[in-house]
Structure formats: C-alpha cells, structure tokens
Structure 1
Amino acid sequence: MKTSYQYKIKPTKQQAEKIDNTLEMLRHQYNYLLAQRFDWYEFNRCPIDICPLICHLPELRKQPNYYNQKASLVQLKVDRPWYKEIHSQVLQEVPKRVELAFDRWLKGNINGKKSGRPRFKGKGQYKTFTYTQFKQHHFVNNKITLSKIGDVKVIVHRPIPDGFKIKTVSITKKSDGYYVTLSLEDQTVPAIKPDFNPDSITGIDVGLKEFLTTADGETVSVPQHYRKAQKRLRVIQKRVSRRKKGSKRRQKTVKQLGKQHKKVADKRKDFHFKTANNLLKKYDVIAVEDLNVKGLARTRLAKSVLDAGWSSFLLILTNKAVNAGLLVIPVKASGTSQDCSSCGVKVPKKLHIRWHNCPNCGCSLDRDHNAAINIKNRAQGHRVLKAQLMSAREPGVAEKPTLTRSR
C-alpha cells in the first residue's frame, strides 16, 4: 500500500535561500529543455504533404527525448558549474517533467485525451523538486537530511506508521512556507479489511443545495468556503491591482493574497477529509456518481461547483477507502434523479423541482434522497463489489492492522 504524508519544515535563512536558488535554477533548465522540444517540433514539421520526384529536403534534427536530455546534464554542469549545487537526482527530474508535459500535448493519455500546449514557467512558478531515493536514517529526531541543503527541522504532527518505508521526498514552496512530502509504502498491508461487510453499503448524491445526501436520508450542508471569503479576497485583490508591478509592496500584497487563497483551500480540504472519515466509519461500501465535473464547471453554476470541490472530495474518499481496506464504487450518473427509487419508473422533473413524487407508486421524498437510493441500488451486485468479495473470502490473507481512518 502507498500513501503520502506532508509536514511543514522550518529551514534556516541560509537553507531557505538554497531551496529558492534550487527552484529558480530548475525553472531555467525546465524552460530550456522545453524550448529544445518546441524548436525540434517547429523545424521538423511541414505543411506540404507531397513533393516532386526530385527535391531537396533538409536533414531532420534529432528528436529530443528524456534520455538524451538527461545525458546533456553532464555537460550542463561543466558549462555552468553552479548547477553542481543541485543533487543529481533532483536535476534529473526536470527532463522527466518536460517529457510528460510534451507527451500529454502530442500523444495524450492512455485514453487518447490530449492536454494543452505546455507553457514556460515564469518566476516563482516552479515550486517543487523531488529526491527519488531516500535513506531511512536521514529522517530522525524531527530533522530530515536533504542533500546539498543540510539538516532541516520538521514539524512532525503525526508519526509515520510502523512498517512503512520512505520511497521519495519532495520539497514544496507554498505561500505560507516550505513543506516536505514523504511517499510511503508497505507491501505487507492487505488490500481488503479482514472483517469487510458488503451489507454495510450506502449511496451518496452530491449537490449544491446539500453537499451530499446518503441513501439513509442523512445530509451534509454545503460550507461555501470561497463565497464566505470573497469579501476579504476582493479587498486584497484590489490592493494588488493598485500596486506598481515589480515593486516590493506588490510582492508583499501578492503573498498576502496567496495566503488567503491557501486558507480557503485548506478549509475545504479539511472539510473533505472529515466528511470522508465520517462516512467510512459508518459504511464499508460507498457508491458514488461517476460525474463529469469538468463539464459542470463550464455552466452557470461553475463557481458553486468548484467551491464545493466534488472531484477533490471523491478522490479523497476513494484514497481513504483504499487505505482502510474498504470500497468506493462509481456508478453511472444518468437518470439517478429522474428514476423512481421505489418502482423504477422515470419521473421527469426540472432542476428547480427539489421533491420527487411518483404518480405510479406514490413514492414521495426529497429529490437528492431519491437519487442516493438509486445510486445504492445500482452499486448492489456491481462487478467490482463481487470481485472484492471473492478476494476477501480467499484463505491465507495475512492480517495486519491497516492505517487508521482518521485524517
């Protein structure tokens, strides 16, 4: 099983300068390698698809890839000796990022979906670097040893679970300071909880009137963190717009704005974790809608949809369920609000109609509650649930305590 723990670190003034210089040098190298890719792409492509029998074609340039760009880092340290201050593994992560960004643009992901053209990173936009290998004894007594930086103080607000090994370490600069993210792994933790109960199942319907409604009729209200903070954000944003570009006063105000946005994001994330934790304490199987949140974010309800953060919540819920040996099943979202949960007859209703009244069987209940019951019914007998049950019944599964369901 894999998981990640993030801690805040307290570097000294000299260590903070080293981290900032490392991020800035990595940003320059990222932009340089990305420019190499664009030069090759523009030089080798041609709008003409036919030519005469006798023609002269220029010699094509060698395509930059991860391996030859990684090999060029040796010459980089010769031409620019200050790059020797960066750990080799940290520097080798840059061509890997460029490779991923460029391939997502030209080739797309495993489903063939392509992303936008990669952008050059401006000052302060490169915020994370990673050590791909890490020794366990370099993290003891609330201090972590980072190569080329030194021993940095860590605020360990929760201990690392027994048996988990640190695989990678990432350093991130945020608006309120520096953080370290530890990627942990333990291959002995079973995938399914030994006392997995498939009958402890519910369905949840997420919405804007209520954040979610369960099949049992329980609701969680929408906190609206961003809308409550809009007034304060508007004041700071106006203050930023009045400052002269490039001035220290503008930089100070931009940092203040970033802290306010991070405060909103942290509140939302904390709400998501606590809500997911409460659900997983009550149920072993949770059925959710397979929503197209990106499509919903292009409607008139975009601000409310993004403020609720459905995608982040469902991702957190799924990850916490995996860590606890439980199950989250996505089901088809179409028709969950229109179909009657009692008799299955389709009862068309517009979005502003918030109550479900079935003329066929007389079922009358809240629209979201009806949808949650439909989601639960669709999950029962799902192939994913059957596969998990077969795995759970296999003998000889080693029992080991999984991670607690707390945040």
Structure 2
Amino acid sequence: MPADRPFPGELKQLNALPKTKKVFPRLGEVPSQVLQQAVKQLHRGWESFQPRGTGFPRFKKYGQFKSLLFPQFKKSPISGNTLLLPKIGDIKINLHRPIPDGFAIKQVRIIKKADIWYASISIQSDVNVPDPMPHGHAIGVDIGLEKFLATSDGVLVKPHKFLRKMQSKLKSLQRRLSRKKKRSKNYEKQRIKVARIHHIIDNTRKDFHFKQAHALCESADMIFMEDLDFRIMAKGMLGKHMLDGGFGQFRSIVKYVCWKLGKFFAEVSSLRTSQECPECGATVKKNLKVRVHHCPECGFTIDRDVASGLVIRNRGIALISTDGWSGKETVCAGDRAGAQKSSQVRKSRQGATRKSKK
C-alpha cells in the first residue's frame, strides 16, 4: 500500500473479507466472525495509537496470535462437558462450574497459554448489582518488597518470590533453547518447556493473590490501598522483584473480590504514607533501612509497614467522611487522619491471613 494512500477503514476491510477468501482459500477454513474480530482488533489498536499515542500496533508474527473470539451464538454452545464451536465441532472441556440459571452465554474466547488451551466464557443477565457501601471494620493495606503486605491490624505476610524460586531451572531451560535452531522441532519442544515454567509461575502467583484477597475480605468490611503506579516502580533497579510480586495484579484482584463479596474498596493518596505518624500526624523522615517507626513527637512506636497501613486506613476513613459520602452508613471506630485518639490505631488484631508466614 503506498504511503500517501489513506489507511483503509474498518468497514472497508470487513467488506473485503469475502473477496480475500477467494484469493486465499485457506481463510475459508476459519469462521467468518473470528476473521471479523481479528480485523476489529487491528483497528482498535490503530485507533488507540492515533488519538492516545499508546504505541504503534505490533505485528503479530507466527505464534504470537494466541486467542480466538467467537462473539455470538444462536443457542448455548455448552452441552454437558462439551463445547460446540463453528467449523471446529464438539470439544471436550473441563467445565469448572455450571452456567447459573438466568444467564446467557454471549461470547467465548479460546486462549492458548504454553501448550494448554482455555475457553473463557462470558455470560450475561439482566441483574443490577449495586456498588458496596462504606460500612463496618476498616483496614489499610501497605504492600512492598520487604513484606508482601502489612495491614493496619498488624497482619504481616512475607513475599513468596515465585520467579526467584524457579529462576535456576528457568535459566537452564532458556540456555538450552538458545542453542536450538529456530523453527526446528527441537526448538519448538524446548520453547514449550520454557513457556510451561512461566505459566506455572503465573498461575502460582495468581492463586496466592486470590487467597490473600479473600483473607483480607474475611477480616474487614472496608479495604483501602495506595494509588501507586507500579509500572514506574518496575523500571527501577528493583524492577525484577516488583514484577515478581505482581502488585498491580494483586490490587485489581482485591478490588474484584471486594465487589464480589460486598466489601467496600477505595484507593487513597500514596504521598508520604511511610513518613507520617498515624497517631499524631507528624512527619517522621526515615530511609528504607529503618524498619521501625518511632515518632519523637508522641512516642508512638510500631513496625514501619504497619504504621503505613494505619496511615492508609486513616486516609481512607477521611475519604469516606467527605461530603461525597455524607449520609452513607459508616460504623468504623476510627477517626480522620492525624487523630490523636483512635481506638483502631492503638489496638491491633493478633491474627494472620490464610496461609501467611510471619
């Protein structure tokens, strides 16, 4: 296509698919709606690149296009443990849980991770789920590298370091992969072995995140976390450790689990949460080597990360106490940030989240 010719629109390319099938007969083996979704996905990337400047759409070379979307079905494609897909036929699946009554299957996305195929099924129902309202016991959650999380109730969870534990095995497999001839059968076998390790690491990390999120929701009714941009933090000298923790994924999972269980979730400002005293509000400067918070103004002493959790919790209580949340039920015993007398600041639960290590 000449450089001066305008980029073809989405509708024009969709209308050109029937003619393209005659030129490339192999495209006729693919369901029409899957081809249409591929064109729509290309234009979504192109539209994001032009007005938003998110980056030029990356060319999907062989092996990088790992999902297929079937956008609609005339009737339910699931019968027992079988999934019926157009032009593919019946596929036996491991149905994790049955489709609930009153829900209709809207679309199915087939995803390949390593050498394992998954079917992500989207269901829809005319049900209005209200957002959780502020109520009950509140906690602040501080996450970091020294401790995966520390709550305002005094709960500490050590990081599991999923990538670091399997790094030696991964290094050995990647060294063998680098010595194989690309596109050969041995190269493909070795590539799948490396992909399986990454898939295991990803699944283990996500399982840990879900368990910790459920444990947090079981211990409180309102959860507050910092509004940190973990993408910037992952570019520093500790980038590998930040990515290994998966803090952005964990925050998204906590938000989802809170919505599912009817718990209130909010993000608060992360500005100087580790330099502020949760008891009197004074500024106590300390570097990363100092792991204990000691306030010279009021004499309050506590673990540094727990103190940050208390500050986050106090800021969250102040957030829901603003005019925007007036008239909404709040039975939390804590006061606003910097309060001198707060029963929740001085008392801490001596519990631990599920499967946590002190």
The reply on whether 1:156 has 2:130 as its aligned counterpart is no
The reply on whether 1:205 has 2:205 as its aligned counterpart is no
2 CA distance for matches of 1:327 and 1:100? 33
Tell me the CA shift for residue 386 of structure 1: 7.4
Instruction: Write out per-residue CA displacement over residues 35-66 of structure 1, whole angstroms, 9 at most, x where no aligned residue.
Output: x6xx5xxx24xxxxxxxxxxxxxxxx343222
Partner of 1:99: 43
The reply on whether 1:127 has 2:66 as its aligned counterpart is yes
The reply on whether 1:323 has 2:267 as its aligned counterpart is no
The residue type equivalent to 2:288 in the other structure is: L
What stretches of structure 2 of length at least 5 have no aligned partner?
331-358
Partner of 2:354: none
1 CA distance for matches of 2:171 and 2:136? 49
TM-score, with length taken from structure 2: 0.87
For 1:202, what is the secondary structure of its paired residue?
A: strand
Instruction: Write out per-residue CA displacement over residues 224-264 of structure 1, whole angstroms, 9 at most, x where no aligned residue.
Output: 01000001101101111122223211111111110011111
- Pick aligned residue for 1:296 from 229, 233, 237: 233
2 CA distance for matches of 1:96 and 1:348? 52
Tell me the CA shift for residue 373 of structure 1: 0.5
The answer to whether the 8 Å contact 1:337/1:371 transfers is yes
For 2:43, what is the secondary structure of its paired residue?
A: helix
Alignment of 1:375-386 (within 5 A): 375-383=312-320
TM-aligned CA distance change 1:123 to 1:292, over 3 Å: same
2 CA distance for matches of 1:248 and 1:136? 40
Partner of 1:177: 116
- Pick aligned residue for 1:343 from 258, 280, 285: 280
The residue type equivalent to 1:307 in the other structure is: D
Tell me the CA shift for residue 374 of structure 1: 0.6
Alignment of 1:53-132 (within 5 A): 61-108=5-52, 114-132=53-71
1 CA distance for matches of 2:324 and 2:101? 29
2 CA distance for matches of 1:124 and 1:90? 17
Tell me the CA shift for residue 134 of structure 1: 2.5
2 CA distance for matches of 1:166 and 1:392? 37
Partner of 2:336: none
The answer to whether the 8 Å contact 1:321/1:328 transfers is yes
The answer to whether the 8 Å contact 1:215/1:373 transfers is yes
Partner of 1:223: 160
1 CA distance for matches of 2:165 and 2:231? 23
TM-aligned CA distance change 1:390 to 1:63, over 3 Å: farther
2 CA distance for matches of 1:386 and 1:160? 41
- Pick aligned residue for 1:137 from 76, 89, 93: 76
The residue type equivalent to 2:114 in the other structure is: S
Tell me the CA shift for residue 201 of structure 1: 1.3
The answer to whether the 8 Å contact 1:134/1:169 transfers is no
The answer to whether the 8 Å contact 1:190/1:325 transfers is no
1 CA distance for matches of 2:217 and 2:311? 20
TM-aligned CA distance change 1:341 to 1:136, over 3 Å: farther
1 CA distance for matches of 2:184 and 2:26? 28
The residue type equivalent to 2:166 in the other structure is: A
TM-score, with length taken from structure 1: 0.77
Instruction: Write out per-residue CA displacement over residues 166-193 of structure 1, whole angstroms, 9 at most, x where no aligned residue.
Output: 2210011221321100112333252246
The residue type equivalent to 1:67 in the other structure is: L
The reply on whether 1:312 has 2:256 as its aligned counterpart is no
Q: CA RMSD in A?
A: 2.1
For 2:141, what is the secondary structure of its paired residue?
A: strand
Structure 1 range deviating more: 268-277 or 378-387: 378-387
What stretches of structure 1 of length at least 5 have no aligned partner?
1-35, 45-60, 109-113, 394-407
Partner of 2:169: 232
The residue type equivalent to 2:208 in the other structure is: F
2 CA distance for matches of 1:275 and 1:134? 37
The answer to whether the 8 Å contact 1:89/1:131 transfers is yes
2 CA distance for matches of 1:386 and 1:90? 49
Give the aligned length: 330
TM-aligned CA distance change 1:385 to 1:238, over 3 Å: farther
Partner of 1:332: 269
